[in-house]
Amino acid sequence: MSSSPDRYAPSPGREATELAWEAAGARVQDANLARLRKEDEDADRLFPPGPVFTDALVDDNVMRLLGTALETYGTAKHAAGRMDLFQRLFDGTGDNAIPYTR
């Protein structure tokens, strides 16, 4: 089975579209986290301040901090039987949740 040689060629248009999609999802997650911070002290305590999901798109250090925070928060919510709070971080980010045009 062969693939098109253009399949893996750099495509600025495709990369810009993917980044726009990721940025839209990150903004939704930042809004979800902002709401959670107000009602769940673990969310406020464990996640770095600010729009961490958006910042993680362009800053590898923030990406590492976010990964650690997600793991720690997920573990805490699992132990407390409150995975619903963890899952709320991702509300509105599904494949059909964010408007997307090609």
Question: Quick one: pLDDT band at residue 101, thresholds 50, 70, 90?
Answer: very low
Average pLDDT over residues 25-42: 97
In the predicted model, is pLDDT for residue 6 greater than 60? yes
More confident residue, 94 or 89: 89
Nearest to 56 by CA among 97, 25, 99: 25
**pLDDT tens-digit series, residues 37-89:** 999 999 999 999 999 999 999 999 999 999 999 999 999 999 999 999 999 99
| DSSP secondary structure string for all residues of 6-32 | GGGS--HHHHHHHHHHHHHHHHHHHHH
